[in-house]
A and B are shown apart, each in its own frame.
Chain A
Amino acid sequence: GDSVTQMEGPVTLSEEAFLTINCTYTATGYPSLFWYVQYPGEGLQLLLKATKADDKGSNKGFEATYRKETTSFHLEKGSVQVSDSAVYFCALSYNNAGNMLTFGGGTRLMVKP
């Protein structure tokens, strides 16, 4: 079956550091890929998505590129802020809108001032 694997956290960074959160997937078809963010005490929010190979999703300074050859969708940000502290989930779906999602286990990011 399909699955998503993320690097284990927590990831602890200082403000303005470069962020990478690794995500790889196993899929029987050609899914769309997503990153969701969960801030403390809040529900999941869609951060960015990519619907086909070599697409780059970007939002709020975050970006991720759909790499079919390495089955990866790593999340990056050039300069993190304290407000980026949250749990980040990588997910796949066979629906471009992201319904019936398969999620990874999540990676907690802690950014220190």
Chain B
Amino acid sequence: DAGVTQSPTHLIKTRGQHVTLRCSPISGHKSVSWYQQVLGQGPQFIFQYYEKEERGRGNFPDRFSARQFPNYSSELNVNALLLGDSALYLCASSLRTGGNLQPQHFGDGTRLSIL
């Protein structure tokens, strides 16, 4: 089975631009989460979506937004890019069984560089 897939793998943008990152969860997984991992640091939680609704939000500015589609894939959007947005953006999906979410499976990430 395919794992969590993210696209693109690498992306270069300039300050002030907008970016959209995409994530396809493992088949059957309805929960998708996004994390930002700045070089040399641990990942930071940005959003969690389940059944197309936002279920959790980390401490990120309103420039960051996300959505989940009927096929459970997800997009992360970042507006007005800053140099500090340069990072690896990780997507994770999880399965819900018996009313409980199961452990997350992470994708390999999208490396975003801001010039």
Residues of A at the B interface (CB closer than 8 Å) are: 4, 41-46, 49, 89, 91, 95-106
Contact = CB atoms under 8 A, between A and B. Distances in A.
A96 B45 contact: no
A97 B100 contact: yes
Main secondary structure of the interface of A (DSSP, over half): loop
Contact of B103 (A42, A89, A98, A105): A98
Contact of B43 (A95, A96, A103): A103
Given A49-B103, A99-B101, 8 more contacts: A4-B42, A43-B107, A44-B43, A44-B90, A91-B42, A97-B101, A99-B94, A101-B43
Contacts, number: 58
Interface in B23-46: 31, 33, 35, 40-45
Nearest to A96: B100
Interface of B: 3-4, 31, 33, 35, 40-45, 48, 56, 58, 90, 92, 94, 100-104, 106-109
Nearest to B59: A1
Contact of A100 (B3, B40, B56): B56
Contact of B45 (A44, A49, A100, A105): A100
Contacts of A105: 40-42
19 contacts: A4-B42, A43-B3, A45-B106, A46-B103, A89-B43, A91-B42, A97-B103, A99-B31, A99-B48, A99-B56, A99-B94, A99-B104, A101-B43, A101-B45, A102-B45, A103-B43, A104-B42, A105-B41, A106-B40
Contacts of B4: 43
Nearest to A90: B42
Contacts of B103: 46, 49, 97-98
A44 B33 contact: no
A95 B50 CA distance: 14
Contacts of A98: 103-104
Given A105-B41, A106-B41, A106-B42, A100 B48 contact: yes
Pick the 10 closest A-B CB pairs, nearest first: A103-B42, A43-B106, A44-B106, A97-B101, A43-B108, A100-B56, A105-B42, A103-B43, A97-B103, A106-B42
